[in-house]
Amino acid sequence: MANTFKNAWSEAVPTSQTDVYAVPSGTTSIVIGLTLTNSSGADVTATVELYDSSKGNSITFLNAVTIPTNTALEVMRGNKVNLESDDKLQVTSGTGSALNVFASILEIT
């Protein structure tokens, strides 16, 4: 098995659901870090969902969490999320172009 560290990010997340990371086929991934940043002059809300490809549905991981202006929210804080082949990490912003997302991932193939 090979272990590879990856970064995934999305800048200026829109108000529609955006895939930040999709697990490649034949791969298991561990989300080891997730940071949401607000680069705007007003508070912004963020929703993070995990899409489970084996069930064909999403679960809300964070729901409409407010991030104050010009700050960052570290979501993981030592926790980890396991994702299986074809699962996705998805984010929606309450205000278009104000939210940036950065994820640190370990892929196991």
Q: Could you tell me which residues come within 8 angstroms of residue 79 by beta carbon, excluding any fewer than 6 positions away?
A: none
Q: What is the mean pLDDT of residues 54-66?
A: 95
Q: What is the mean pLDDT of residues 60-65?
A: 96
- Tens digit of each residue's pLDDT (9 = 90 or more) over 75-102: 988 899 999 999 999 999 999 999 999 9
Average pLDDT of the chain is: 96
User: Could you give the domains of the chain?
Assistant: 3-108 (2.60.120.340)
Nearest Cα to 103, choosing from 26, 2, 6?
6
Asked whether the predicted pLDDT for residue 67 surpasses 90, the reply is yes
